[in-house]
Amino acid sequence: MHQSRTRITLLTRAGCGACVPARELLGEICREFDLELTCIDVDEAAADDPDLRAEYGDRLPVVLLDGKEHSYWEVDEDRLRADLAAG
């Protein structure tokens, strides 16, 4: 059975003060676990997916692990590292 690669996505928006440090921390974690970080600006994505901004827009930054919400407002670093190590 083929197992898909773990995906980490950061939902953000321009001007979000908490998003910059979250992106930096996630970048470090992704390098450590040899993963690619995908960043999505919810305001830009709203043109194609307005539900994304409606669901997450008031809790940014939001970390998605394999498409599921993992943490918001800040990176839960300990939990994320544990989940990645277990995965």
pLDDT at 3 over 50: no
1 in a structural domain: no
pLDDT tens digits, one per residue of 22-79: 999 999 999 999 999 999 999 999 999 999 889 998 999 999 999 999 999 999 999 9
Average pLDDT over residues 16-23: 96
Query: Predicted confidence band at 6 (pLDDT cuts at 50, 70, 90)?
Result: confident
* Single-letter code of the amino acid located at 65: L
* Single-letter code of the amino acid located at 63: V
Distance CA 71, CA 43 (A): 19
64 in a structural domain: yes
Residue numbers of the domain that contains 22: 8-76
Distance CA 46, CA 66 (A): 20
CATH code for the domain in which residue 69 is found: 3.40.30.10
* Residue 68 neighbours by CB distance under 10 Å: 9
Overall domain count for the chain? 1
Rounded to two decimals, the pTM is 0.90
38 in a structural domain: yes
34 in a structural domain: yes
63 in a structural domain: yes
86 in a structural domain: no
Distance CA 4, CA 62 (A): 22
49 in a structural domain: yes
Q: Is 37 helix (H, G, I), strand (E, B) or coil?
A: strand
87 in a structural domain: no
